[in-house]
Amino acid sequence: MTGRAVNNTIQTDDSPDLDWYIDRIVQVLMFIGGISAIVLIIGIFIFVTREGISFIFNDLDFAEFFASPRWRPTSEWRATYGILALIVGTASITGLAMMIAIPFSLGSAIFISEFATGKYKEYLKVLVELLAAIPSVVWGFIGLTIMNPLIIQIFNVPVGLNVLNAGLILGLMAAPIITSIAEDALKAVPDGFREAAEAMGATKWQVIYKVVLPAAKNGLLGAVLLGVGRGFGETMAVLMASGHAINLPENIFDSVRALTATIAAELGETAVGSVHYQSLFTIGIFLFLITFMINLTADLVVRGVKKG
């Protein structure tokens, strides 16, 4: 055996060979894959906008839409389309959920990343990811059948399906996602930082507080914002746990209704193309814009890490 390649002549022409074609094909496939995500998102936006656009131009009274708490699209006498109560409902549930989820998830992310070691750490990470994979309808089920009687019992209130219930459920749902992303952000902090600080005599907590958290700050903020986005967009669990009553809540024991839940509950019962149908799509556009802005902010914030 000579051990040399058979074809080791110097190539003098630039004619494409098999590798060249494969490379081209792969490039085209990757391009299609990449562009399809963009095409799909634009397609969805166009669809949602098209369904809602005639409502926006013909029937929409901006003042009423955003400032009136009266959502009565099926009123025979005078239909009103005010989503203020729905916005407040979504915002109060999400706000409470974040108050619960943020401390818990940042705490567990710090624990998993900085304190847990070896197998223990791996088990915890898998468990957190499992928690994130629980379907939202299951969470709604828990809210309906477990939390509801518990809240009635503990706080002595007539209804257990309210801001507190939905906020707790949503907080528990968002926590694993925030934890997971926050843990990634902490993991991205180079070990050299930790070692350098420890070598200076910093205690574990000083290392975390003075070095790791500032270094991971953007990633952590991004994680929180993604959790907020998740809260705004969540439908099923909120529909089941919030009480679904159009109401400007005075405290956390009032039932509320969320924007998303309204779409989910009403869209199936409207005539396609009717004003009610179009108004629901307008809510959809509004939700789309909000989550888009939250995710965009989250993305910009996370990117800030690399610039800094």
Binding residues vs another protein (CB under 8 A):
117-118, 189-190, 192-193, 195-203, 206, 210-211, 214-215, 308
Measured at the CA of 262, the angle between CA 104 and CA 135, to 5 degrees, comes to: 45
d(CA 287, CA 233): 7
Q: Which amino acid is at 116?
A: A
Q: Mention every residue, 6+ apart, whose C-beta is less than 8 A from residue 23.
A: none
Smaller CB distance to another protein: residue 104 or 193?
193
Q: Minimum CB separation from another protein for residue 182, in Å?
A: 17
Smaller CB distance to another protein: residue 206 or 270?
206
Q: Minimum CB separation from another protein for residue 217, in Å?
A: 9
d(CA 105, CA 122): 17
Q: Minimum CB separation from another protein for residue 111, in Å?
A: 17
Alpha helices for the chain (secondary structure H): 18-58, 62-67, 84-110, 118-132, 136-142, 148-155, 163-187, 191-199, 204-206, 213-233, 236-241, 259-266, 275-307
Q: Minimum CB separation from another protein for residue 192, in Å?
A: 4
Decide: 97 and 233 in contact? Cβ < 8 Å.
no
Smaller CB distance to another protein: residue 61 or 122?
122
Smaller CB distance to another protein: residue 191 or 269?
191
Decide: 171 and 188 in contact? Cβ < 8 Å.
no
Q: Minimum CB separation from another protein for residue 6, in Å?
A: 41
Q: Minimum CB separation from another protein for residue 110, in Å?
A: 17
d(CA 58, CA 182): 45
Q: Minimum CB separation from another protein for residue 302, in Å?
A: 15
Phi, psi dihedral angles at 14 (to 5 degrees): -105, 30
d(CA 230, CA 94): 9
Smaller CB distance to another protein: residue 64 or 198?
198
- Supply the DSSP string of 66-110, one letter for each residue: HH---EETT-SS--EE--HHHHHHHHHHHHHHHHHHHHHHHHHHH
Q: Minimum CB separation from another protein for residue 171, in Å?
A: 30
Smaller CB distance to another protein: residue 83 or 207?
207
d(CA 301, CA 182): 13
Smaller CB distance to another protein: residue 24 or 303?
303
Q: Mention every residue, 6+ apart, whose C-beta is less than 8 A from residue 110.
A: 186, 208
Smaller CB distance to another protein: residue 186 or 259?
186
